[in-house]
Structure 1
Amino acid sequence: MTSTSPPPGLARFNDLEESVARAALHEACASTAWATRLLAARPYATVADLYTVSDTAMADLTVTDLAEAMAGHPPIGRPKPGDPTSAREQRGMAGASAELKAEMLELNLAYQEKFGHVFLICATGRTGEQMRDAVKERIGNAPEQEREIVRVELGKINRIRLARLVEED
């Protein structure tokens, strides 16, 4: 019986010193509770195992943990300066018109005033118009409903970021 070893990128992640792995996970998601769960489950045999633990950890986040995770995300249309991850993920806003950018700023502010946090969406692959339409649609949600939508969107973002973390060199 032969055992299969994890893909090289995942093996590298499994072997990282805990503080280095924690820092890498913090880049993927600002939730300490989420990162702690993922670290505790190392080593991972497959990327699917990593995703399963990530999804479970995300589902189990408290309201406070979720707020910590959201605090790590800049508003749509205003990626963190010098942060290639947020710039890449928000690429759909890069070529947006000045009018669309101004509208997104207004919508972001209205959303933040209502919910107390930035509008969060898995922006990868979405156009500026799609993001605008999503915030317009979601601003009418009840806070509890919106919190669960945000949890799902964060889970999608985390999977994309984890994939980048463990991809082969």
Structure 2
Amino acid sequence: MPVQPRHPTPAHAASPAGATLPAGVTLPAGVPGAPPVGGSPADHAVGLAHFNSLPFAAAEAAFLECCGSLRWAHRMAAHRPYPDLGALLAASDEAGYDLAPGDIAEALAAEPAPCLHSDAPRAAHLALRAAHAAYESRFGHAFVICLDAFEPSQYVDQVLAGIRVRLAHEVDEERAVTAEELRRLARSRIVELVAGDPRG
């Protein structure tokens, strides 16, 4: 099974302004209480069996594509084998809740800044760039967000709206929100990883 990139090529979902989905924005699939997507249960079983059998270093590298904390990835690789996808996602959540501030900072440093597709209007590029600059100036790290609750046509608008809302947060409040977004993104990326073709 190939290690999937952290950020696959974004879907070209136009916003009302004609912008497209930012490349750094990922759509979490395995959020708590929601059924995972990105393959059938049989696909997950086959992919998970292959993943459980990977050498430790390969598994750790794959987990690092899901969350950039080395401590998180090491723990996830060390706790194999996982009996099913639900157990894997539960372990991901548990490991995420145990991350220290330094681990979260390491994971955030690995997150690329979201950007628009090159054919998006210049005004959209400028708006997104300015919003991210304002956020990073206030909090000192990249903005991360889960968009699974929204339609594709809403993605870009929700990124901009999310930044506006979260700029009003106190630092401690935003730290908690960011940690939760990282956990949700890790779940989504794990689902994509396990659903990949193990024969690739």
TM superposition score normalised by structure 1: 0.82
Structure 2 CA distance for aligned equivalents of residues 116 and 143 of structure 1: 10
**CA-atom RMSD, angstroms?**
1.6
Aligned to 1:156: 184
Structure 2 CA distance for aligned equivalents of residues 60 and 67 of structure 1: 13
| 1:58 alignment partner, one of 86, 96, 111 | 96
Aligned to 2:76: 38
> Which residue identity is paired with 1:7?
A
> Which residue identity is paired with 1:18?
F
Aligned to 1:20: 58
Aligned-pair identity in percent equals: 34
SS at match of 2:65: helix
Aligned to 1:130: 158
Gaps of 5+ in 2: 1-43
> Which residue identity is paired with 2:183?
G
Over 4 Å off, 4+ runs: 123-126
Deviations 1:92-139 (A, max 9, x none): x43643212211111111111111101111256552111001001101
Aligned to 1:141: 169
Aligned to 1:108: 132
Q: How many residues align?
A: 149
TM superposition score normalised by structure 2: 0.70
> Which residue identity is paired with 2:70?
T
Gaps of 5+ in 1: 1-5, 78-92
> Which residue identity is paired with 1:69?
A
Q: Higher helix fraction: Structure 1 or Structure 2?
A: 1
> Which residue identity is paired with 2:110?
G
Q: Is the 8 Å Cα contact of residues 56 and 78 (structure 2) preserved in structure 1?
A: no
Q: Is the 8 Å Cα contact of residues 47 and 196 (structure 2) preserved in structure 1?
A: yes
Greater relative contact order (Cα 8 A, min sep 6): structure 1 or 2? 2
Structure 1 CA distance for aligned equivalents of residues 74 and 170 of structure 2: 30
Q: Is the 8 Å Cα contact of residues 60 and 73 (structure 2) preserved in structure 1?
A: yes
Shift of residue 167, structure 1, vs aligned partner: 1.1
